[in-house]
């Protein structure tokens, strides 16, 4: 039957993150006058990621880590069905998709966090760079510029996998991520929207504290 | 009788060389961007050791291939597709050798002898020569960019074979997969 597979907060999170990651990559490459936008975009990404971590604990069923993070055995069993070109159906993330969520959230969290301490030695500094030692800032900057390519690799892998499912295996994954509806035997339990609003507000407040209040603390 | 699968040795060569090449491409790119330091020089040494290892393994793979030919391409492929597959494989092998060779020559021309694993000195063919080193650096860089591009095409083609053409081209190179 046709049910709501992805709730609205998860879908908004996904597409906002996709847009901001592309925007961050572009502004980071353009540099100079675009750097203030690069920083703002990074703060928004950090807030989105904090929200996703919270939503992975208190959110709707398909958004919860406890539901989609699976072990090696489930992953390899699923990989075999994928290799046989008939991937086992899953409501929400399949086991490999679950690993991709962890990798993507982890890599982006590292990217956003190191960005807070980074310094490009031109005129752009992360908001917390002043508070850290010179060695820390150098290390964070180096991780920030190397990890960027890990993120690019994950995005390419993600988009390629979706393209294979969508057009070679004829499994519609893009549609459900847009309108939320997909085929499933049981309807996943949905968390209330107000809870998403609270999680989003707390995440935004935490990032505001990190980038605007903490650096000015005496 | 033509084989339908790669030999276990060929499969092992393929995936070890693939992992080493992917790692060394990223590692080289990363190390080039580091500020000059003892660590940077140490990383370049590792990079060269891996490059030499790739050179040796690719040579062994090519030798193995002479006596154990690759399985035939699916009959359903169009002539231009088969041609493209052959050209891209020849290109890959040329680049597997060209990349470490230009790296070694570039290193010599820059005045750094390569000492494999820190114990086996590789003779320098070239004397230290700044102009030549600049040319070889550019050559080494573009050979590796080209290799990265052909690898992307190679991987995309393997996925196209598996998921769109639905043939056995990808599976016959996979380790641990049961053969029908």
pLDDT digits (tens, 9 = 90+) for A141-179: 999 999 999 999 999 999 999 999 999 999 999 999 999
- Which chain B residues are closer than 8 Å to A145 by Cβ? 33
Return the residue of A nearest to B163 by Cα.
A168
Return the residue of A nearest to B28 by Cα.
A146
Q: According to the model, what pLDDT value does residue B2 have?
A: 62
Is the ipTM of this structure higher than 0.85?
A: no
Kindly give the residue spans of alpha helices, DSSP state H, lying in B38-177: 38-67, 79-109, 130-160
**Strands A2-4 vs A181-183: parallel, antiparallel or unpaired:** antiparallel
Structural domains in chain B, CATH included, are 8-173 (1.20.950)
Q: How far is CA B89 from CA A39, A175, A212, B58, B162, in A?
A: 44, 38, 54, 13, 18
- Which chain B residues are closer than 8 Å to A85 by Cβ? 162-163, 166
Residue among A137, A144, A164, A169 with most chain B CBs within 10 A, to mutate: A164
Residues of B at the A interface (Cβ-Cβ below 8 Å)? 26, 29-30, 33-34, 159, 162-164, 166, 171, 174, 177
Of B26, B159, B166, Cβ closest to residue A164: B159
Domain definitions of chain A by residue range: 2-216
pLDDT digits (tens, 9 = 90+) for B8-46: 999 999 999 999 999 999 999 999 988 899 999 999 999
How far apart are the CA of A71 and the nearest CA of chain B, in angstroms?
20
Residues of A at the B interface (Cβ-Cβ below 8 Å)? 83, 85, 142, 145-146, 149, 160, 164, 168-169
Q: Is A2-216 assigned to CATH 1.10.3470.10?
A: no
Is the separation of the CB atoms in B107 and B114 below 8 Å?
Answer: yes
Q: Is B31 exposed, middle or buried (0-12, 13-18, 19+ CB in 10 A)?
A: middle
How far apart are the CA of A152 and the nearest CA of chain B, in angstroms?
13
* Distance in angstroms (rounded) separating the CA atoms of residues B42 and A29: 29
Evaluate if residue B180 carries a pLDDT over 60: no
Evaluate if residue B179 carries a pLDDT over 60: no
Q: According to the model, what pLDDT value does residue B52 have?
A: 97
Is the separation of the CB atoms in A151 and A113 below 8 Å?
Answer: no
- Give per-residue burial for B141-178: e unless 16+ CB within 10 Å, then b: eebbeebeebbeebeebebbbbbebebbbbbbbbeeee
Start-to-end CA distance of chain A, whole Å, equals 58
Q: How far is CA B16 from CA A183, B36, B54, B123, in A?
A: 41, 31, 9, 26
pLDDT digits (tens, 9 = 90+) for A48-98: 999 999 999 999 999 999 999 999 999 999 999 999 999 999 999 999 999
Residue A83 to residue B34, Cβ atoms within 8 A = no
Residue A168 to residue B163, Cβ atoms within 8 A = yes
């Amino acid at each position: 039957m046709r049910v709501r597979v992805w709730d609205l907060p998860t879908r908004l999170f996904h597409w906002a993150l996709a847009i901001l990651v592309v925007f961050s990559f572009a502004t980071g490459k353009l540099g100079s006058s675009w750097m203030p936008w690069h920083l703002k975009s990074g703060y928004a990404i950090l807030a989105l990621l904090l929200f996703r971590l919270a939503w992975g604990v208190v959110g709707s069923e398909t958004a919860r880590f406890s539901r989609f993070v699976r072990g090696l055995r489930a992953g390899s069993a699923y990989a075999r069905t994928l290799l046989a070109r008939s991937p086992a159906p899953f409501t929400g993330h399949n086991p490999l998709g679950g690993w991709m969520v962890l990798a993507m959230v982890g890599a982006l969290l590292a990217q956003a966090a190191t960005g807070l301490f980074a310094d490009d030695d031109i005129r752009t500094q992360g908001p917390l760079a002043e508070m850290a030692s010179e060695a820390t800032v150098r290390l964070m900057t180096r991780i920030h510029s190397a990890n960027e390519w890990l993120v690019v690799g994950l995005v390419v892998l993600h988009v390629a996998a979706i393209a294979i499912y969508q057009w070679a295996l004829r499994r519609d994954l893009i549609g459900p991520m847009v309108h939320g509806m997909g085929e499933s035997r049981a309807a996943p339990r949905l968390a209330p929207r107000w809870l998403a609003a609270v999680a989003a507000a707390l995440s935004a407040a935490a990032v505001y504290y990190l980038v605007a209040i903490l650096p000015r603390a005496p | 009788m033509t084989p339908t699968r790669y030999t276990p040795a060929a499969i092992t060569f393929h995936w070890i060389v693939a992992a080493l090449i992917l790692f060394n491409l990223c590692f080289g790119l990363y190390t080039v961007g580091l500020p000059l330091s003892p660590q940077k020089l140490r990383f370049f040494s590792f990079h060269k050791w891996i490059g030499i290892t790739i050179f040796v393994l690719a040579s062994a793979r090519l030798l193995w291939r002479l006596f154990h030919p690759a399985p035939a391409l699916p009959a359903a492929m169009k002539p231009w597709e088969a041609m493209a597959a052959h050209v891209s494989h020849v290109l890959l092998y040329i680049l597997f050798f060209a990349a470490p060779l230009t790296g070694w020559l570039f290193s010599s021309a820059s005045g750094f002898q390569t000492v494999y694993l820190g114990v086996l000195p590789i003779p320098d063919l070239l004397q230290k020569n700044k102009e030549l080193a600049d040319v070889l650096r550019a050559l080494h860089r573009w050979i590796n960019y080209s290799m990265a591009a052909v690898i992307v095409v190679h991987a995309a083609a393997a996925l196209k074979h598996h998921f769109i053409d639905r043939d056995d081209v990808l599976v016959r190179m996979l380790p641990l997969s049961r053969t029908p």
